[in-house]
């Protein structure tokens, strides 16, 4: 009787096929579910495929000395490779699945110790065990980031079975911590370098902007002020020479043209002064603020001519500052106080000083028009920002911006308190 050949079942075929797969392949650890996040954490250090560095080589030397073993390395595992940063006796780059360290990173909080790989089903037929470099003993300490990702290992290998003491394992763990500190330092240095580069690029942009500003200032000084002076001059000439031929409305038109030209010229002058503030080097000296404030009051009174405000002066402490620039602070604040209190029946301007945390705080206070703090808080020191209309009070909207810029350059602060129709107080400090 002739027996018919029976086709092997699928299960039998799979079992036979499985028998042909090396044990170390069958026992590969599954990849972590967060492996892409782990790889991204590794890439942040930009350590892969970089040249050897003394600091890492010294750590692998110490690892070999601690374990009295000939082979040691510091390696990192990306998606498909193990790349060694420091290497004593191993291949610099290997497929991820062929490495002992691939097992070590699967449990970030544990040290993988293989006393004799020939007795371990995970490695007994591994090519690195059967051939060079004959990995019989292996210990791998995961290199773990602060976020808990095992990005690589520091490992030690020997060609004979070994056991390590707890002291040796603790020392290897300490070396792994040192590797992570080196990596963190590397990352911080890269971030600082990136910030430095950005700052350098920003500085170059500012230089270009300053050059453009200088060019603009030149244009403003020469190309804009000249026609404004002509407009103002011709308006006055027409009014003087031909005013008798014009009715009252025509005269008002000419006066309006002349006044607008004057206001525009004042605005240009204020802008030019404001733009130059950042370029003027500070010439700090000890300044008698009493003397300076008194000087400013007298000069502003003389310039305005019809100032009727009563000035109350309190004692002021000396300040270490640039006298010329800080004089401009007093000029702007005192001028504003006179201007905004001028419509009061009994205008009062007070100049004084208080202290906060033992630091002098100078102030200029008036009982004038004041303003709405809530409505004006965001724009108070902004350039071209005005608290009142041009019909109510003249001005260009540059004065307080200039004051703030000067105070900031001295490392101080400026702020205000005000109420509508009750006046305003401006406070400022100088860095001590």
**Using CB atoms within 10 A of its CB, is residue 266 exposed (0-12), middle (13-18) or buried (19+)?**
middle
Contact 144, 108 (CB under 8 A): yes
Enter the tokens of residue 154. 């520091």
For the chain, the domains span 10-164, 281-428
What is the predicted pLDDT for the residue at 17?
A: 45
**CA distances from residue 193 to 198, 200, 201 in whole angstroms, order as listed:** 9, 10, 12
Specify the pLDDT at position 129: 92
Instruction: Report pTM.
Output: 0.53
Predicted local confidence at residue 399, as pLDDT: 75
CATH class of the 10-164 domain in this structure = alpha beta
Q: State residue 385's pLDDT score.
A: 59
Structural domain 281-428, CATH architecture = 2-Layer Sandwich (3.30)
At 242, list the tokens. Answer: 């031909």
**Locus of tokens 């002064």:** 273
What pLDDT is recorded for position 397?
60
Q: Which two tokens stand for residue 200?
A: 């350098």
What count of residues does the chain have?
432
| Residue 220 pLDDT | 63
pLDDT of residue 135: 94
Q: Tens place of pLDDT for every residue, the chain, 432 residues?
A: 333 434 444 444 444 445 678 888 888 999 989 999 999 999 999 999 999 999 999 999 999 999 999 999 999 999 999 999 999 888 788 999 989 999 999 999 999 999 999 999 999 999 999 998 899 999 999 999 999 999 999 999 999 999 999 999 999 999 999 999 999 999 999 999 989 889 988 888 887 777 776 676 666 666 666 777 778 787 888 878 887 888 888 878 878 787 777 767 766 666 666 666 666 678 889 999 999 999 999 888 888 777 788 899 999 999 999 888 898 899 889 988 988 888 888 889 999 999 998 899 999 999 988 887 776 666 777 655 556 555 555 655 667 888 888 898 889 999 988 888 888 999 999 886
Strands of the sheet with 423-428, listed across from one edge? 310-313, 348-356, 359-366, 423-428, 414-419
> Is the CB of residue 232 less than 8 Å from the CB of residue 265?
yes
């Amino acid at each position: 009787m002739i027996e018919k050949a029976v086709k092997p079942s699928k299960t039998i075929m799979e079992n036979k096929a499985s028998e042909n797969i090396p044990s170390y392949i069958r026992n590969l650890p599954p990849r972590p579910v967060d492996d892409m996040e782990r790889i991204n954490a590794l890439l942040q250090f930009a350590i892969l495929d970089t040249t050897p560095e003394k600091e890492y080589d010294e750590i692998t030397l110490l690892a070999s000395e601690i374990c009295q073993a000939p082979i040691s390395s510091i390696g990192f595992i990306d998606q498909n490779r193990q790349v060694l940063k420091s290497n004593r006796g191993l291949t610099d780059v290997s497929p991820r699945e062929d490495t002992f360290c691939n097992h070590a990173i699967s449990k970030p909080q544990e040290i993988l110790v293989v006393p004799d790989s020939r007795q371990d089903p995970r490695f007994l037929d591994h090519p690195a065990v059967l051939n060079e470099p004959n990995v019989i003993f292996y210990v791998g300490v995961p290199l773990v980031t602060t976020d808990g990702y095992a990005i690589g290992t520091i490992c030690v290998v020997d060609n004979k079975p070994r056991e390590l003491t707890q002291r040796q394992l603790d020392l290897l763990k300490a070396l792994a911590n040192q590797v992570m500190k080196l990596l963190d330092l590397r990352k911080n240095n890269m971030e600082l370098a990136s910030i430095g580069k950005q700052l350098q690029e920003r500085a170059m942009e500012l230089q270009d902007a300053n050059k453009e500003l200088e060019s603009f200032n030149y244009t403003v000084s020469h190309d804009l002020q000249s026609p404004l002076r002509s407009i103002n001059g011709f308006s006055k000439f027409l009014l003087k020479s031909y005013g008798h031929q014009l009715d009252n409305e025509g005269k008002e038109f000419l006066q309006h043209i002349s006044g607008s030209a004057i206001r525009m010229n004042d605005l240009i002058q204020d802008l030019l002064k404001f733009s130059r503030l950042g370029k003027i080097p500070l010439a700090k000296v000890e300044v008698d603020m009493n003397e300076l404030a008194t000087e400013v009051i007298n000069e502003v009174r003389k310039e305005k001519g019809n100032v009727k405000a009563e000035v109350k002066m309190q004692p002021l402490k000396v300040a270490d500052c640039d006298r010329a620039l800080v004089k401009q602070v007093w000029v702007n604040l005192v001028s504003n106080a006179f201007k905004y209190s001028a419509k009061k029946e009994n205008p009062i301007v007070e100049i004084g000083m208080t202290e906060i945390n033992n630091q002098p705080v100078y102030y200029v206070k008036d009982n004038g028009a004041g303003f709405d703090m809530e409505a004006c808080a965001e724009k108070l020191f902004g350039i071209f920002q005005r608290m009142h209309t041009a019909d109510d009070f003249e001005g260009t909207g540059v004065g307080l911006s200039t004051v703030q810029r000067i105070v900031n350059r001295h490392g101080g602060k400026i702020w205000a308190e005000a109420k509508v129709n009750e006046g305003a107080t401006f406070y400022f400090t100088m860095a001590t």
